[in-house]
Structure 1
Amino acid sequence: MIERMAKSALGGSSSSRSAPQRLLRAVETYTARDPVRATLKGLVHHGRHARSKFVSHHLRDQLCVRLSHQMRRLELFPRPAGTSTHYLDQLFRVHAATFQELLDAGSVVERMLPHGTREDSLQRQRCDPLDDFRRTVDAVNNRHAPNVETLMEAKREASRGAGGVGPESENHLQGLVDDFLQMHISFQLLCRHFLQSLKPLDLENSNKRTGLVAEECLLSDVIADAIGETQLITEHHLVHSPDVCIEGDVDARASCIPSHVHHILFEVLKNALKATTTAHASVADTLPPVRVRIAQVVV
């Protein structure tokens, strides 16, 4: 399947008949490796050295590893006979095209000189391989943004084609979807963190941001934002919404990715506010408050 989809993805961009075979060999090479886990410590380090050749090389390498695993995972999706696989094929073409683009970007990364050398400053006046690579990563990030919606359509295609798959098949399909989403989040995180790290620093930022990571994030601010959003949604759907109190160490700071923490809190608070409102529907004017406690744990 990879070879067939590679021909489709590269047909208009390569005159070489051997291009799909080269891509297939590259996929096999990268699939043999496991992705390096993205940690806060690693993200901060790479964010601080985002302009270095090493970081660009590492990013390109890890994006290729993740793409190869995603393509292999898409191969495992059920393809019921006589049914459309339009969205699954679309996902595959996107991943194959991006994989080839990142392989080609290797020559751009190799043109980078070690950051801080005299030759580096002279080269930046003539051409900037880093900016070329940044544009590639930006295009890749935007191209893969709709993948979640496309994946859900591909899942529906597979389910319809199987005529309402049984529990085992449904669990298998859901497992593939979950694994795909986890890798997709990791892929997008690496892209966005790199792009954000190249932007000028905000010297007045009290959270001490490095890329997407806030090294000294004031947790109560993130919680307050999530509270505001969930209360609006609860009031829209249920008319009423309970108050939410932030307790504990309200001045606590932590290293985190605020957008991820916000998303987690949003989902938890949404459930808590809905449960509280529906459980006390008879006394909606005097709903008990939902309490969020911040507790620092010394490890």
Structure 2
Amino acid sequence: PGQVDFYARFSPSPLSMKQFLDFGSVNACEKTSFMFLRRELPVRLANIMKEISLLPDNLLRTPSVQLVQSWYIQSLQELLDFKDKSAEDAKTIYEFTDTVIRIRNRHNDVIPTMAQGVTEYKESFGVDPVTSQNVQYFLDRFYMSRISIRMLLNQHSLLFGGKGSPSYRKHIGSINPNCDVVEVIKDGYENARRLCDLYYVNSPELELEELNAVSPGQTIQVVYVPSHLYHMVFELFKNAMRAT
């Protein structure tokens, strides 16, 4: 608790896509990443852990939320082990990257587990409109925090973990400098359509028009994390198809 209070006093460092891109493509240095993340990750973890601790007691007592809390506590403790270690020690740097990958894998199911906790809470105690609004406000902040922490973990893991797949060779960590927007949209549509066909035996067609105002006739490409864009369009298509 003392360490959580200490690190929660600091604000996370704002990072732009350009900063991620510049670091990953020009001067990617594992030592620099280590020195930044061993401070930044505890700050981000502690901030959201502090918010979790302010949830209603009955929600905190659900098995799923307790499990999520245990993951965050364990991850924070593992990161703090590196607080006073030398950045000049190659073994320390290697172990840190290993720890980052382990934390990333541990947090794979954070979102469904937290959602399960909220479901357990509502089923056991019901929920009034004010509490429901407060919990939803927390969840929005929790998911945003999770995305930013995941981004940092992914960038370090993919840049320095040494196990990038061939499809990621043109990527900088998880960022694609030339993300084809239409391709991602089509991919999201096809998967949403398959689900729609499975449940409703029918699905609406996609009418897609691509207009590149900067370079007419060219495909629209942006610097983005393809998986983030995919999840957004997939959810939009899925909800739109269900409404249709």
- The answer as to whether partners of 1:51 and 1:130 remain within 8 angstroms in 2 is no
Which residue pairs with 2:156 in the alignment? Answer: 194
Q: How far apart are the structure 2 equivalents of 1:80 and 1:209? A: 44
Cα deviation 1:220-246 (Å, max 9, x = unaligned)? 221221122122112112212232133
1:256 maps to 2:224: yes
Look up the match of 2:215. none
Match of 1:273 among 238, 241, 244: 241
Separation of aligned partners in 2, 1:266 and 1:193: 23
The equivalent position to 2:48 in structure 1, one of 70, 90, 115, is 70
Q: Normalising to structure 1: TM-score of the pair? A: 0.70
Query: Are the structure 2 counterparts of residues 84 and 35 from structure 1 closer, same or farther at C-alpha, using a change threshold of 3 Å?
Result: closer
Deviation, structure 1 residue 217: 1.5
If you compute each CA radius of gyration, which structure gives the higher value, 1 or 2?
A: 1
Alignment of 1:12-161 (within 5 A): 24=2, 26-48=3-25, 49-80=27-58, 84-108=61-85, 110-112=86-88, 127-160=90-123
> How far does residue 200 in structure 1 lie from its aligned partner after superposition?
7.0
Shift, 1:84, TM fit: 4.4
In structure 2, C-alpha distance between the alignment counterparts of 1:239 and 1:60, rounded to whole Å: 50
The letter of the residue matching 1:221 is: E
Unaligned runs of 5+ in 1: 3-23, 114-126, 279-299
Tell which deviates more after alignment, 255-264 or 219-228: 219-228
Query: Aligned pairs, how many?
Result: 236
> Which amino acid in structure 2 is aligned with residue 101 of structure 1?
E
CA distance in 2, matches of 1:84, 1:208: 45
CA distance in 2, matches of 1:91, 1:254: 34
> Which shifted more, 133-142 or 148-157?
148-157
TM-score computed with the length of structure 2 as normaliser:
0.85
Which structure carries more relative contact order (alpha carbon 8 Å, separation 6+)?
Answer: 2
Q: Which runs of 5+ in 2 are unaligned?
A: 212-217
Could you say what secondary structure the match of 1:248 adopts? coil
Deviation for aligned residue 1:208: 3.8
Residues 145-168 of structure 1, C-alpha deviations (whole Å, 9 max, x = no match): 12222212322343345x322111
Q: Which runs of 4+ in 1 moved over 4 A?
A: 200-205
Counterparts of 1:202 and 1:157 in 2: how far apart (Å)?
A: 38
- 1:238 aligned partner: 200
Query: What is the rounded CA distance, in whole Å, between the counterparts of 1:204 and 1:142 in structure 2?
Result: 20
State the alpha-carbon separation in 1 of the partners of residues 7 and 37 from structure 2.
13
Residues 55 and 225 (structure 1), Cα distance of their counterparts in 2 relative to 1, 3 Å cut? same
Distance 1:84 1:252, change over 3 A: closer
Bigger helix fraction: 2
Moved more, 135-144 or 173-182: 173-182
User: Does structure 1 conserve the Cα–Cα contact (< 8 Å) formed by 2:182 and 2:210?
Assistant: no
In the aligned structure 2, how far is the partner of 1:248 from the partner of 1:225? Answer: 15
- What is the letter of the counterpart of residue 197 of structure 1? L
Secondary structure in structure 2 of the residue aligned to 1:246: coil
When the two chains are superposed, the root-mean-square deviation of aligned CA atoms in Å is 2.6
Specify whether residues 138 and 232 from structure 1 end up closer, same or farther in structure 2 by C-alpha distance, changes over 3 A only.
same
| Residue 164 in structure 1 maps to residue 115 in structure 2 | no
Paired-residue identity, %: 25
Partner Cα separation in structure 1 for residue 93 and residue 205 of structure 2: 49
Deviation of 1:100 after TM superposition, in Å, equals 1.2
Deviations 1:96-138 (A, max 9, x none): 1211110102344x2337xxxxxxxxxxxxx543321110001
